[in-house]
Amino acid sequence: MTTQAPGHTRLRVTRAGIDTYQQPVVYMHRDCEVCRSEGFAAMTRVRLDVGARTLVATLNVVVDDRLGLDEVALSEAAWTLLDPMRDALARVRHAEPASSAGALRAKVFGARLDDAQYLALVQDVMESRLSDLELAAFVTASAGDRLDNAETTSLTRAMIAVGQRLDWGDGPVLDKHCVGGLPGNRTTPIVVAIVAALGYRIPKTSSRAITSPAGTADTMEVMAPVALDLAAMRRVVEREGGCIVWGGNVRLSPADDILIRVQRPLDFDSDGQLVASVLSKKIAAGSTHVLIDMPVGPTAKVRGEAAAHSLGTRLGHTGAALGLHLGIHRTDGTQPVGRGIGPALEAHDVLKVLRNAADAPADLRERALALSAALLDMAAGSNAGTGLERARGVLDSGAALAKFLAICEAQGGFREPRRAAFTADVPATASGRIAVIDNRRLAKLAKLAGAPTSPTAGLETGLRIGDTVERGQPLLTLHAESPGELAYALEHAVTLQPFVLGEVP
């Protein structure tokens, strides 16, 4: 039952128990005296003062009796940010307009912004002074090619400025990043192991999947803990030379995580925001030499030479402006890499390569070696052109495997990846030669099977462009953690058809 509020200015703070991801949301009854006196309505931006802490949040209005008239309930994100004491009281009032509101409006209407305006925008992002609607407007106004090179650099600087920045001392600090869009391209754990085994520092922070069936952090997490804080990350790197941790826990470019939350449902591509996202995290992590893996193909994220040139130019301009040694390695993005697509399945591929197993995927091994070689050749003091020989030496000798297992132990302990309980083959409906493989459809099938939420879910396929198949032959094998997820994926496999068959010559 609702009760009469004891006063006009303070409300009891309660926990709503509602996950709104990173968006702070508060809940008040529509008949609450504060709500009525202030003229609050749903989606109003409100300021909460609880003790010495302040929060700007979005209001949702409760119309039934689940919330008292003297209460303000906090979503999980708001509760974490305010961290109220027991029986805390909150003063709730209208939030002041964001200081960057004018800059945001100018960007929406096509204006170019400068360093100060981007810094104001990003600071307001960090302080939750911009609603998700306003953030969506900014993401939309920056989509496509609406950020030029100078603006991309300004946005990157601002994102670095509002987060922490690591300093590893003298000497090169190496890193690599893939722009994505290629299922199974899980080279990072192998590259980190090779580079660290050769005595270089490579503190790798990686993301979880945003729209893919697995991110590097998802794959690594089935083998070792990745949710390390900054202190733990530093200890691992000082002990082993490298790490592979989830970037969301170390929060080196926290504004980027908030923007990604808004970008994900919009699914807008923006070279400027991609560059700012990647390079802000690399520079914040203390990297001095960064190699960008850029798969190019019609169903990869970078779909052709023109797009590759445009993105490469923007990366190079921003990297140079910020004093970063940047290399770009274009790779084939026409078909998947390895056999597994999904966290655990990709982990199995990684371990096979590191263990020099007879059935290790050759394409994953060669890609990892090529990227390691290019990164090693970038490092100051290295003999250019010797990277491939050095990388192959530590992989073949088992030194890379030993280093990988040591990194896993330092992060909390190694574990073998599991296998899904349920599998089913998807057969070819006709005979022919594989002419095209649609990476996006393969990724979607793996997600429909439950990846990455279910770590062992996904799919396996060893087929490549040019292979011939017979009617009834398995094209791929789906893996799922429940019969229902497996059936759901099988149902969609009939219509998605990631393999396009042509005539056998």
- Tell me phi and psi for residue 464, to 5 degrees: -135, 165
Among 376, 380, 323, which residue's Cα sits nearest to residue 170? 380
Quick one: how far is CA 299 from the chain centroid?
A: 19
Contact assessment for residue 46 and residue 40, using Cβ atoms and an 8 Å cutoff: yes
Residue ranges of the alpha helices (H) in 355-471? 362-378, 387-397, 399-411, 439-448
Catalytic site residue 269? Answer: yes
Query: Which of the residues 31, 49, 257, 269 is marked catalytic?
Result: 269
Query: Cα(263)–Cα(69) distance, rounded to whole angstroms?
Result: 36
Q: For residue 94, count other CB atoms closer than 10 A to its CB.
A: 12
Query: Cα(407)–Cα(414) distance, rounded to whole angstroms?
Result: 9
Burial bucket for residue 87 (CB in 10 Å: 0-12, 13-18, 19+):
exposed
- Helix (H) or strand (E) segment spanning residue 459: strand 458-460
Query: Cα(139)–Cα(495) distance, rounded to whole angstroms?
Result: 33
Among 404, 497, 493, which residue's Cα sits nearest to residue 187? 404
DSSP structure class, residue 209: P
List C-alpha distances in Å: 336 to 66, 222, 304, 366, 437. Answer: 50, 21, 16, 14, 8
Among 137, 168, 298, 330, which residue's Cα sits nearest to residue 233? 168
- For residue 207, give the amino acid letter: S
- Number of residues assigned to the chain: 505
Q: Which residues are catalytically annotated?
A: 269
